[in-house]
Structure 1
Amino acid sequence: MLQVPTSVDGFLAQYGNVVVDFAITVVTFLVTFLLLYKIGKSVLVRAVKRGLNARQFSSAVVSLGSSIAAVIAVLGAVAIAATVSGFPAILSAFATIAGALALGVAFAAGDIIENFVAGIFILKDKPFTVGDYIEWDGNNGIVREINLRVSKLDTFNNEQITVPNGDLASAVVMNPVANDTRRLTFDFGIEYDASMKDAREIIIDEASKIEGVLADPAPAAPVTGLADSAVVLNGRLWINPSETGAGGVKNQWIENVKRRFDAEGIGMPYPYTELTGEIDVNTRDIEAAPADD
């Protein structure tokens, strides 16, 4: 049967060593934790910031990395301090709780984590930047914001699109404005009896007159096809996409070429089908036809 001491002296005599040992253990844990946390946080955060800045990550990624480094410093300090002070139970419980939390978060926030990681890779690899026009999976838009979870784009109709970064990271993204030059093409169909030389000169001349079209590489218009009703000349010109809008140049070019073709009598036929042959219509002899009853 447990005997309860009736005085302070009796309590100290019976439990004094236990109290002292526990107090020493707690003090050791707290001192070790504070020292390790202070040193670990300073070293880890500084190293993470220096490493991310050296690789030219964005400020958002640097801030995120610093926060993760601080959390790791806390977890590491708790684990080491518990081991040094002789708290194996705390360490075991801490590991169990941390594992359960990690598993729960992974199941509950799988999509969020996927988009989050994809955002980090987009900011690092830079397949596109703010202001770029991109196309992916039948969609297109001008990039306005790149956040860690989603990216925001504007369509040409001034509609905002919010896209999870996971979709952009896993899709084939075409960035027409990533390079210093971009080629624009259009197929011009002319009649078979029209002069290919004259048509080519008109296409190249009208392209050269448009502001923003580069002289090198020079515009061209090779014959690329013989269609059912037209000879196809593939008009080609080059622009600097960071300085000149592709849509405006292409529309102006097509309109000017059509106007010149009309003025100089070069037809642009549309597809049609011509049927040739004869039809034999047989009629029965009325007199040989059976009479109605």
Structure 2
Amino acid sequence: MDISKYLEIAQNFIVDYGIKVIGAIVIWIIGSWLIKKIIRGISKVMSKNNYDVSLQKFLLNLIGWGLKILLFLVILSQLGIETTSFAAILAAAGLAVGMALQGSLGNFAGGVLIMIFKPFKIGDLIEGQGELGVVKEIEIFTTKLTGLSNREIIIPNGALSNGNIINYSTEGTRRVDLVFGVSYDADIKQSKEVIMNVLTSHPKILKDPAPAVTVLELADSSVNFAVRPWCKTDHYWDVYFDVTENVKEALDKAGIEIPYPHQVEIQKKG
């Protein structure tokens, strides 16, 4: 038996693969250090931009695992192992998971967009997908609202982010749009003064922007006024209901008639 031949083969094997193994270990050490640095840097950027905590954790985990898989493939390539099959398996698995969770991924993507661009925040009064309510909680897949009748409304983030969103809280003030009709026999200037007195005397109606009372239309049986007071968003419904009641009382007190439908019955004698 030629021992020297086998020793030479073993030596060549150790030299060839030893260098590869050492290289793989070096790549693993440096790669792991770089991944930690990258994750730490992304975390600082997210914290600086006030990203949602749950979104930060999810994205950091997702990026971390992606970088670790990439590092694993680089190490396999360094060891001389064919990585094409691994990449194909990962791609196929990703496609299968994506198809199975298509709706959930859409909601996740919508949640990410909402948390990044922040079209609304917790406590805002918004309208979206035909629902109106105060934002109670923003989650990865859904957004929870508290409806005006204290209902809990859960809207998928995919649909919410792809539709129109009306945020009533962004500007801090809202205009209350009301319409009141008076008789054609009533004096227009007097009617406007009576309504305006109601608006200017209400403590929750803002002076700036100033409230407005204008003739909206000459309807079939009434002259209709567009009444437009402004208030803080939190006072909207107080102003809405108070003005509706107070204007009715003020018009009655001034002797100004508010028209209402009349029904005429015609009887034919036989």
Indicate which of 199, 214, 227 corresponds to 1:207.
Answer: 199
Q: Is residue 188 from structure 1 mapped to residue 180 from structure 2 by the alignment?
A: yes
Superposition map of 1:169-180 within 5 A: 169-180=161-172
Match of 1:257 among 228, 247, 251: 247
Q: SS in structure 2 opposite 1:245?
A: helix
Q: Residue 190 of structure 2: which of 198, 217, 224 is its match?
A: 198
For 2:135, the equivalent position in structure 1 comes to: 143
Amino acid in structure 2 at the alignment position of 1:38: S
User: Match of 1:158, as an amino acid?
Assistant: N
User: What's 1:82 paired with?
Assistant: 76
The superposition leaves residues 57-102 of structure 1 with CA deviations (integer Å, 9 ceiling, x where unpaired) of 2222222222122112212211221222222x2x123202211111
Call closer, same or farther: CA 1:21–1:110 in 2, change over 3 Å: farther
CA distance 1:266–1:259, shift in 2 (3 Å) = same
Query: 1:37, 1:77 within 8 Å by CA — same for their partners in 2?
Result: yes
- Corresponding residue of 2:231: 239
- Structure 2 unaligned segments of length 5 or more: list them: none
Q: Distance in 2 between matches of 1:79 and 1:151?
A: 38
| Structure 1 Cα separation of the partners of residues 184 and 247 of structure 2 | 18
- Separation in 2 of the partners of 1:37 and 1:165? 36
Cα distance between partner residues in 2 of 1:18 and 1:64: 47
Q: CA deviation at 1:154?
A: 0.9
Partner of 1:69: 63
State the 1:23 CA deviation.
Answer: 5.9
1:123-144 CA-partner distances (Å, limit 9, x unpaired): 1211111111111232111110
Shift in Å, 1:258: 0.4
What runs of 5+ residues in structure 1 fail to find an aligned partner?
Answer: 284-293
Q: CA deviation at 1:211?
A: 2.2
Q: In 2, Cα distance between the equivalents of 1:122 and 1:167?
A: 11
CA distance, structure 1, for counterparts of residue 37 and residue 52 of structure 2: 21
In the alignment, the residues of structure 2 paired with residue 219 and residue 178 of structure 1 have an alpha-carbon distance, to the nearest angstrom, of 20
1:42 alignment counterpart: 36
Structure 1, residues 217-258: CA drift from partner, whole Å, max 9, x if none? 1111100100000000111100121xx321121101100110
Q: Partners in 2 of 1:150 and 1:37 — Cα distance?
A: 36
CA distance in 1, matches of 2:204, 2:19: 76
Cα pair distance change 1:200/1:158, threshold 3 Å: same
Return the offset for 1:273: 6.8
CA distance in 1, matches of 2:235, 2:137: 21
Q: Does 1:106 align with 2:90?
A: no
Which structure's CA Rg is the greater one?
1
Supply the distance in 1 between the matched residues of 2:131 and 2:77 (Cα, whole angstroms): 55
Q: How many residues align?
A: 269
Aligned runs of 1:158-169 on 2, under 5 Å? 158-169=150-161
Match of 2:258 among 250, 258, 268: 268
- State the 1:30 CA deviation: 5.0
Alpha-carbon contact 2:20-2:78 (below 8 Å) kept: no
CA separation in 1, counterparts of 2:65 and 2:189? 72
Q: TM-score, normalised by structure 2?
A: 0.88
AA partner of residue 50 (structure 2): Q
TM-score, normalised to structure 1's length? 0.82
The answer to whether the 8 Å contact 2:129/2:159 transfers is no
Query: Bigger CA drift: 210-219 or 105-114?
Result: 210-219
Secondary structure (helix, strand or coil) at the match of 1:193 reads coil
Q: Which residue of 2 aligns with 1:287?
A: none
1:248 alignment partner, one of 238, 252, 255 = 238
The verdict on how the C-alpha distance between 1:94 and 1:40 changes in structure 2, with shifts beyond 3 A counting, is: farther
